[in-house]
Amino acid sequence: MPDASTLPDGRILTRLDVAIVGGGLAGLYAIHRLRGMGLRVRAFEAGSDIGGTWFWNRYPGARCDVESLEYSYSFSDDLQQVWKWPERYGTQPEILRYINHVADRFDLRRDVQLNTRVMSALFDSKANDWTLTTDRGDVVRAHFCIMAAGNLSTPRVPEFRGLRDFRGKWYHSGLWPHEGVDFSGQRVGVIGTGSSGVQMIPIIARQASHLHVFQRTANFSLPARNAPMDPERERRHKAEYPARRRAAYDTPFAIAGYPKPTRSALQATPAERRAAYEAKWQEGGSISFLYSYTDLLVNKEANDTASEFVREKIRSIVKDPRTAELLAPKDHPIGTKRLCLDTGYYETYNRNNVTLVDVRSDPIGEITPNGLRTASGVAYELDTIVFATGFDAMTGALREIDIRTTDGATLADRWAGGPLTYLGLMVAGFPNMLIITGPGSPGVKTQMIASIEQHTDWIAGCLDHMSRHGLDRIEPMVEAEAAWVQHVNAVADSTLYPLANSWYLGANIPDKPRVFMPYVGGFDAYKRRCDAVAASGYEGFRLT
Ligand code: N01
């Protein structure tokens, strides 16, 4: 149990071993794992309930694009045997139900403080502990601070002139009202065609009287081929669960079961390639498609074959040739922006009540009281605007917390030129602060929950090592951090990823430094590196 006392000014001071920022999948597992070591832990969650991403993103059609049998915790075999996923891909309500089930099953709620946003975190360099303050006036002192605040948890509405005077209603995909939104009979505008837009557009189109989709960048999307769970597949998967989870550690995406490609796309004949891509298109899912050949993400010429295959599919589905051409992405190689999965996305543009608007050639100039107007003066009358405009990804949540040390360092200054971490886990100069799936980690390029478990288990091992050796402070050495950042960049530069203006690069946020943030060397390579660092007595870290 945490210790609590009252400060002279009346505020409550809570003392913990580990303070956790965030009550989503990462924060909840951290509670479970660290509490199991006898540590006093508590997570602070801004939302009115647990679930993080899956609590906030309630837009129509929200669903995970990793298959439900994979996208779940592996730490308890009972849990993974008991839970029944009704469909191939989990819907947002189903995943949130699962998270709540986990919290109840492992009694995690008693260590989550809801409706509490962490505002600041100050490291005391003499006492070697963190003091956190919250928007409720709480003060929390903890030896360690774990940032489990999410990578896509800071929704971003572009700063359009006039939004305040808009007379209709507007929403952001990542802050969706709990009561839902009825679009019946409405003239709706959706801005943004990333994963969120692509999922919601077909559903909103079925309700709205008219839907305008404002597209700045066409995105590649593949059919999800969602379906009710096949009982035989579920039975087999569950029988193999422990082995599959172990095998996942040796894969780049932390998902087992995809045969490793053995040859370049350029070694196949055009007919062989078409057959291979067609089979993957029919099978559904993005990993399988991008894993068709060894080099789709590293060789532009190889990638062109896959990109063109999908462009041809778009042209064959969308009846109006001009719309089809606008929807066919040409400014980035397939897979270098997050590949979308959809259900009837391209088909939606064949509806009479759906219009695609190209806001690349004629950007949105302003929101007007009755809709919006483009830079060239074309006006659109709208009752409702939906911003599917994404997030201040990977660094947004930490940028919102005033993180500093009594030595005068601030994370804002340290990261002014882009995020710097060692292994994505820690930042030099900010001792005892650990990040789960932060920049420099492969998290967002993997089955996220596997990465969450791997990071947290590594942290647990590290804290155990420190406790057994009487150590109370850990921080990365500047040289180790610099070498890791250089490695992350070198790996990214050896791929096609930097060719896309994506949130991986911070490109969707004006003035954000353009630095490639995720580690794309693969979960397998990353885990081996983390394990080796721990086995060597935490090489690259200074422990005192
Ligand atoms: O956000 P995004 P998202 N004017 O940043 C456009 C995960 N996720 O919420 O590309 C006009 O991808 C912007 O245009 P551009 C997944 O990892 C997963 O969709 O910057 N348009 C883009 O089209 C995903 O990658 C799932 O030119 C503007 C869109 O808004 C990540 O979350 C589901 C604009 C933003 O796309 C983020 O996805 C949902 C402007 N001023 C999300 N500003 C699944 O698991 C931005 N845009 C299925």
Query: What average pLDDT does this structure show over 387-401?
Result: 97
Per-residue pLDDT at 10 exceeds 90: no
pTM greater than 0.90 (yes/no): yes
pLDDT-based confidence at 2, cuts 50/70/90?
low
CA distances for 222 relative to 191, 219, 270, 275, 351, angstroms = 20, 10, 20, 16, 19
Query: What average pLDDT does this structure show over 223-252?
Result: 97
pLDDT-based confidence at 259, cuts 50/70/90?
confident
Q: How far apart are CA 159 and CA 49, in angstroms?
A: 29
What are the two backbone dihedrals, phi and then psi, of residue 541, each rounded to the nearest 5 degrees? -110, 150
> In 3-state terms, what secondary structure has residue 61?
coil
What does the block give as tokens for 75? 């730490």
The ligand 1 atom nearest the CA atom of 338:
25
Q: How far apart are CA 383 and CA 21, in angstroms?
A: 37
pLDDT the model gives residue 230: 96
pLDDT the model gives residue 100: 98
| Nearest Cα residue to atom 45 of ligand 1 | 64
pLDDT the model gives residue 496: 98
pLDDT the model gives residue 4: 86
Burial of 16 from C-beta contacts in 10 A (0-12 / 13-18 / 19+)? buried
| Nearest Cα residue to atom 26 of ligand 1 | 195
If you write DSSP's letter for every residue of 199-260 in order, what string do you get? HHHHHHHHH-SEEEEEESS---EEE----BPPHHHHHHHHHTHHHHHHHHTTSSSS---PPP
Instruction: Identify the CA nearest to 281 among candidates 228, 233, 221, 347.
Output: 221
The continuous run of DSSP H or E covering 3 comes out as strand 3-6
| Nearest Cα residue to atom 25 of ligand 1 | 338
pLDDT-based confidence at 9, cuts 50/70/90?
confident
Q: Is the CB of 508 under 6 A from ligand 1?
A: yes
Query: What average pLDDT does this structure show over 485-509?
Result: 96
Q: 190 alpha carbon to ligand 1 midpoint, in Å? A: 12
How do residues 372-385 score in pLDDT, each as one tens digit?
Answer: 999 999 999 999 99
Q: 460 alpha carbon to ligand 1 midpoint, in Å? A: 34
Ligand 1: which of 65, 96, 196 to mutate, judged by most atoms within 8 Å of the beta carbon? 196
Residue bearing the bigger pLDDT, 264 or 6: 264
Q: 94 alpha carbon to ligand 1 midpoint, in Å? A: 22
Q: How far apart are CA 212 and CA 193, in angstroms?
A: 12
Query: What average pLDDT does this structure show over 331-351?
Result: 97
The ligand 1 atom nearest the CA atom of 192:
30
Q: 492 alpha carbon to ligand 1 midpoint, in Å? A: 21
| Nearest Cα residue to atom 16 of ligand 1 | 195
pLDDT the model gives residue 1: 59
Ligand 1: which of 173, 213, 338 to mutate, judged by most atoms within 8 Å of the beta carbon? 338
What are the two backbone dihedrals, phi and then psi, of residue 368, each rounded to the nearest 5 degrees? -110, 170
Q: 197 alpha carbon to ligand 1 midpoint, in Å? A: 7
Per-residue pLDDT at 483 exceeds 90: yes
pLDDT the model gives residue 62: 98
Q: How far apart are CA 351 and CA 17, in angstroms?
A: 57
Burial 314-326 (b: 16+ CB within 10 A, else e): beebbeeeebbeb
Instruction: Identify the CA nearest to 500 among candidates 295, 334, 380.
Output: 334
Q: 505 alpha carbon to ligand 1 midpoint, in Å? A: 13
How do residues 19-72 score in pLDDT, each as one tens digit?
Answer: 999 999 999 999 999 999 999 999 999 999 999 999 999 999 999 999 999 999
CA-only gyration radius of the chain, Å: 24
Q: Is the CB of 173 under 6 A from ligand 1?
A: yes
Q: Do 484 and 529 meet the contact criterion of CB atoms below 8 Å apart? A: no
Residue bearing the bigger pLDDT, 2 or 127: 127
Q: How far apart are CA 210 and CA 189, in angstroms?
A: 8
CA distances for 251 relative to 244, 247, 523, 526, angstroms = 11, 7, 6, 10
Q: Is the CB of 193 under 6 A from ligand 1?
A: yes
CA distances for 283 relative to 280, 290, 440, angstroms = 5, 13, 32
Q: How far apart are CA 231 and CA 86, in angstroms?
A: 9
Q: What percent of the chain has pLDDT over 90?
A: 96
The ligand 1 atom nearest the CA atom of 389:
30
The ipTM of this complex is: 0.99
- For residue 76, the one-letter residue type is S
How do residues 180-194 score in pLDDT, each as one tens digit?
Answer: 999 999 999 999 999
Q: 522 alpha carbon to ligand 1 midpoint, in Å? A: 23
Burial of 221 from C-beta contacts in 10 A (0-12 / 13-18 / 19+)? buried
Q: Is the CB of 191 under 6 A from ligand 1?
A: yes
pLDDT the model gives residue 3: 81
Q: 149 alpha carbon to ligand 1 midpoint, in Å? A: 19
Edge-to-edge order in the sheet of strand 384-387 = 169-172, 384-387, 187-191, 210-215, 354-358
Supply the mean pLDDT for the chain.
Answer: 97
Burial of 184 from C-beta contacts in 10 A (0-12 / 13-18 / 19+)? exposed
CA distances for 472 relative to 96, 338, 426, angstroms = 36, 40, 15
Q: Is the CB of 509 under 6 A from ligand 1?
A: no
DSSP tag of 41: E
Ligand 1: which of 89, 367, 389, 514 to mutate, judged by most atoms within 8 Å of the beta carbon? 389
Ligand 1: which of 508, 511, 520 to mutate, judged by most atoms within 8 Å of the beta carbon? 508
